Amino acid sequence: MAGSSPRATAAVENLRRICEQELHGQYELEVIDVMLHPELAEQEKVLATPTLIKQLPPPLRRVIGDLSDSEQVLLGLELRQVIQPPLPTEN
């Protein structure tokens, strides 16, 4: 995130809530301020803030925004299986 904007604060709060609910506290979260550590943003090739990078478990996934849409976050991080609609049966 960039600085301590309301958007950044909201993103952290939203993420903690999601993680508590879905992962039952089994997570590790590192918050980086790109204003203080632009070299890390450069290294990770991040453009948008806030950006959530899921490093483990693989695959590597990114979600950008204040994470207000929990469903999108879970889909983006591939922490929830998408319920596939049944395939149409062949006649």
Partner 1 sequence: MLELDDDDAAVEKLPTGMPSFDIIAKGGLPKNRTTLVSGTAGSGKTVFAMQFLAAGIRDSGERGVFVTFEESARDIRKNMRSFGWDLAQWERDGLLAFVDASPDPHIETVVSGSFDLGALLARVEYAVKKVGATRVAVDSIGAIFSQFADQSVVRRELFRIAAGLKELGTTAVLTAERVDDYGPIARFGVEEFIADNVMILRNALGDETRRRTLEIVKFRGTDHQKGEFPFTIATDGGVVAIPLSAMQLSQKSSNVRVSSGNKELDAMCGGGFFQDSVTLISGATGTGKTLSVAQFLNGAGEGERCLLLAFEESREQLFRNAIGWGVDFEQLERDGRLKVVCDYPDIAGLEDWLVNIQAIIREFKPKRVALDSLSALERIGTVKAFREFVLGMTSFIKHQEITGLFTATTASLMGGTSITETHISTLTDSIILLRYVEMFGEMKRGLTVLKMRGSIHDKGIREFEIDGTGMHLGGRFKNVSGILSGHPVHLSPADLERAWSEFDTQMGRRETAASAPGSERRTGGERRRPT
Which residues are at the interface with partner 1 (CB under 8 A)? 1-3, 7, 10-11, 14, 34-35, 38-39, 41-42, 45-51, 59-70, 72-73, 75-76
Q: Which helix (H) or strand (E) holds 40?
A: helix 38-44
Query: In terms of CB distance, is 43 or 91 closer to partner 1?
Result: 43
Residue with smaller CB distance to partner 1, 20 or 44: 44
Nearest-angstrom CA–CA distance, 27 and 15 = 11
Query: Could you identify the residue written with the tokens 């049966």?
Result: 89
Shortest CB 2 distance to partner 1, Å: 3
